[in-house]
Amino acid sequence: MHVSPVLRASFTGDLPHSRRLEPVTSSHEAFHEASSCSARLACSTEQGIRRPCAGAGLEPRPEHRIEHSTSLVLGEGEEALLALERAHGSSSAHQWSVLCEVLAEIRRQVGEALVAVADGQRRAAVADEHFLRERSKRESADAALRADLRCLGEQFRGEVSRCASDARDALNSCVADLVARLGKLQDFESEVQARNEALRQEFRVECGVSRSSHDQLLQALSEMRHAAQLETEAHAVAVSGTQEKVQKVEELLTTTARQHEERVDQIHSKFESLILEERNGRERDASRQQDNVEALRTVVSKEASGMSRDVRLLHEKLEEVASAMRGAMSAQRTSLEDEIRKVSSQNALLHGSLADEAAARHLADSQMALMAEDVGRLQGEVSALRQADEHLSDVVDERFAEITRALQAHRERDAERGRVVDSLRAQVDQERSTRVAEVGGLQAECHQLAVEAARLCAGLSEVAQSTKDLEDVGAQKRAEIVDEARRLHSVQADDNREWARLLVDHVTSDVRSKCEAACGEVKRQLLETSENLVGEVRQEFVSEVLRLEALAQGVGVAQATTRTQDKEFFETQARATAEKVRGALEAHSEFGEALEQEQRRLIARMNEGFAQTSTTCGGLERRVHHLEFNMQRVRGHLPILFADR
């Protein structure tokens, strides 16, 4: 609060002696000095009230203004003035003492007013500092809030730009992926076309090979039938030759027996005189002849055992040939079934490849059209791909039905071929039974030959017995008979050996030819097996390619799912960031509201302080006005006091 230095000096006694109020020369000067002090006090009080309001950027309220019309009741001053009026007639010394008391009371009241004004000014300065501090805090909080909001905005813009760049990169990668997939699809279409052409060529070649193999099979069957007929004829010729040889041996034996009987008769007729002479030598010769007969018997038994062994070997070889033919027929049947399965699988693969080619061509055309129209129509492309997948599934179902019908037809043809193979098997079994019958006939013929050989041995034993009976035959005739018998036996043995050799050679040649035929059949089966393996490898390759295509489709679906998940993740992150920013904004708004409430409370407290200060200042002003009123009353009474002078 501003107080005039003259007034302060006048109340404190700091003015020069000429300006002090102690020696008041006149009542007019005292009254003028009191009125000027009251005016200055009122002006300084009003300025002290206005200054903190202006520093705070506020206007003083109407209740803060000082009302100059207010009156202050001072009991002591009134009593002093009344005492002064009563002492009107008294002496001047008494009047002066009363005036000094009044002035002292005024000085005391002005000092109290100055203390109250200084206290109000101090409180106003404290309130001003507190208000400035709160204002600086509010400004710093607002600046921090703006900085936080700016940072959050920058982060949000960066996040949005990053999400946009990620989405743009994802879209570009998706477009590049689609372009790459389109290129791969075009390459795959060209590869499928080339593979289809190669499969068609291979199918044509395999059809030609199957036709040629079928023709070769029919030719082999006809050759087998012809070979069987030739073998049957050869066996019949061999049997007829054997029968002729047996007849020749029988005729030779009969002629030999007849000649022997004739010679025996001649010996009996010619050498009866020599029996006695040759009896001793006959016993020795008889023992020697017995030894020779035993040796001949052993030789004949060996020849018979050799023939039986040859016959058994022949029977075993025939059984092996029959088993080989049976195995060849079964292998041929399995090869035919494998060929049928191969043809059916090739047909199925061809139908599948044609269906896949048509579906892939349709899909490639649709994708090329969609890519040519607009890259941004990804949703339309997805719907077109779904329609293409549905169309492809329908085409696959139709092709599957066609393949099922084709497999049914192939199964019917397989059943027909099985019936043909069964008829061929019946024919082979019939031929085998005929061969077994022929082998049984050969065994019977060999048994007859063994019987004839036994009969021949019996005849030889009879000859030996007859030679024993011929004691009178001479040594020369006996030697001739023995030589003739040995010659006949050697001739017969040579004939039998030659016949056995021819039979063995014939059987060996037949077995060799059959072995060569079996080797050729094995080679053909190996070739067919290799072709089947090549077909299976081709089928596995096609199935692997189809699996890779399905895997590629699965990878595409997985990529689409991953892109969708990434998009959802980015949207979730953006929503979470937006929620965080919204929460931060709400928190800052709440902080701003709390700060505003605190400011309102501070302003209310300051207004309360200003109201208290204004009340105090109003009281002081009323006291000053009362003092001024009293001074005016004193001014009215001064002429009365100083009238005597």
More confident residue, 601 or 273: 601
pLDDT per position as a tens digit, 627-638: 778 777 766 666
Q: How many domains is the chain built from?
A: 2
CA quadruple 280, 283, 288, 293: dihedral sign: positive
What confidence score (pLDDT) does residue 468 get?
67
Residues 295 and 402 in one domain: yes
pLDDT per position as a tens digit, 350-370: 556 556 655 655 665 665 555
Q: Quick check: 128 pLDDT over 70?
A: yes
Q: For residue 603, what pLDDT band results from cuts at 50, 70 and 90?
A: confident
Domain stops at, among 514, 531, 560: 560
Q: Is residue 163 part of a domain?
A: no
Which region holds residue 515: left if phi is over 0, alpha if psi is between -120 and 50, else beta? alpha
Q: For residue 244, what pLDDT band results from cuts at 50, 70 and 90?
A: confident
Distance CA 110, CA 419 (A): 147
C-alpha to C-alpha distances, 361 to 251, 349, 358, nearest whole angstrom: 91, 18, 5
CB count within 10 Å of CB 627 equals 25
pLDDT per position as a tens digit, 524-552: 877 787 787 777 777 877 787 788 788 87
Comparing 162-166, 236-240, 378-382, the range with the smallest average pLDDT is 378-382
Distance CA 184, CA 191 (A): 10
pLDDT per position as a tens digit, 565-582: 888 888 888 788 878 878
What confidence score (pLDDT) does residue 124 get?
77
The pTM of the full predicted model, rounded to 2 decimals, is 0.23
Q: For residue 311, what pLDDT band results from cuts at 50, 70 and 90?
A: low
Q: What is the CA angle 522-523-527, rounded to 5?
A: 115
Residues 410 and 262 in one domain: yes
Residue 340 CA to its chain's centroid (Å): 38
Q: Is residue 10 part of a domain?
A: yes
Residues 404 and 548 in one domain: yes
N-to-C CA span, the chain: 41
Q: Is residue 316 part of a domain?
A: yes
Residues 288 and 347 in one domain: yes
Q: Quick check: 344 pLDDT over 60?
A: no
Domain residues for the domain of 469 are 168-560
Distance CA 223, CA 384 (A): 62
What confidence score (pLDDT) does residue 39 get?
52
Residues above pLDDT 90, as percent of the chain:
0
More confident residue, 543 or 323: 543
Q: Is residue 575 part of a domain?
A: no
Most confident range, picked from 113-117, 197-201, 248-252, 475-479: 113-117
Residues 537 and 614 in one domain: no
Residues 341 and 431 in one domain: yes
Q: What single-letter amino acid sits at 269? A: S
Q: Quick check: 496 pLDDT over 50?
A: yes
Residues above pLDDT 70, as percent of the chain:
39
Q: What is the CA angle 96-99-100, rounded to 5?
A: 85
Q: What tokens does 112 get?
A: 């109290």
C-alpha to C-alpha distances, 14 to 94, 107, 108, nearest whole angstrom: 27, 14, 16
Residues 630 and 497 in one domain: no
Q: Quick check: 136 pLDDT over 80?
A: yes
Domain stops at, among 560, 592, 613: 560
Cβ 631 vs Cβ 38: under 8 Å: yes
Q: Average model confidence (pLDDT) for the chain?
A: 66
Q: What is the mean pLDDT of residues 449-470?
A: 65
Q: What is the mean pLDDT of residues 128-153?
A: 77
Q: Is residue 573 part of a domain?
A: no
Comparing 81-95, 179-193, 613-627, the range with the smallest average pLDDT is 81-95
Comparing 11-25, 77-91, 430-444, the range with the smallest average pLDDT is 11-25
Residues 147 and 203 in one domain: no
Q: Is residue 569 part of a domain?
A: no
Nearest partner of 356 among 198, 540, 191, 556, judged by Cα: 191
What confidence score (pLDDT) does residue 48 get?
46
Residues 185 and 255 in one domain: yes
pLDDT per position as a tens digit, 170-183: 667 766 776 776 67
Q: Quick check: 137 pLDDT over 70?
A: yes
Q: What is the mean pLDDT of residues 153-178?
A: 69
What confidence score (pLDDT) does residue 336 get?
57
Q: Is residue 568 part of a domain?
A: no
Q: Quick check: 117 pLDDT over 70?
A: yes
What confidence score (pLDDT) does residue 223 get?
72
Residues 75 and 208 in one domain: no
Q: Quick check: 29 pLDDT over 60?
A: no
Q: Quick check: 600 pLDDT over 50?
A: yes
pLDDT per position as a tens digit, 38-69: 455 445 444 444 444 444 444 444 333 333 33
Q: What tokens does 76 get?
A: 């002591």
Residues 83 and 201 in one domain: no
Residues 193 and 331 in one domain: yes
Q: What is the mean pLDDT of residues 454-463?
A: 65
Q: Is residue 62 part of a domain?
A: yes
Cβ 52 vs Cβ 67: under 8 Å: no
